[in-house]
Structure 1
Amino acid sequence: MGVDTSSGMIERLVRSIRDERSMRLQREVEEKRFRHRTETSERRVFSLGQHFT
């Protein structure tokens, strides 16, 4: 019974680590998308500003 408990704990730990890694990677993808949109918007604003000077 102790082996089953240890095995179950290890499986839950591994699953938890995988889930955390997956969430972290997803967050990184979302941050990259946000930065890209922000940089694109800033370039457009700068470009528009150039037309009015």
Structure 2
Amino acid sequence: MPSKKGSSRLQAMMAQFSYDHRCADSCLNKIRKNADELDKFLDTLSPGGKNKKEK
């Protein structure tokens, strides 16, 4: 019986770890998306921004 108790505890810890990192990944994806949009916006504002990147 002790192995079953330890097994459920391990499963609970793994589930919590997975949940925590899934939430963190979701937040990081939003940050990456916003950073990409900001980069595109700043490129349109800067004169000759695209010419510098192409060279």
TM-score between both structures, scaled by the size of structure 1: 0.78
Gaps of 5+ in 2: 48-55
Q: Percent identity?
A: 4
Gaps of 5+ in 1: 1-6
Q: Out of 46, 49, 53, which is 1:52 matched to?
A: 46
Q: Give the structure, 1 or 2, with the largest relative contact order (CA under 8 Å, sep 6 or more).
A: 2
Aligned equivalent of 1:37? 31
Distance 1:34 1:46 in 2: 19
Q: CA deviation at 1:52?
A: 2.8
TM-score between both structures, scaled by the size of structure 2: 0.75
Number of aligned residues = 47
1:2-41 CA distance string (max 9 Å, x none): xxxxx21101000100100100111111111111111111
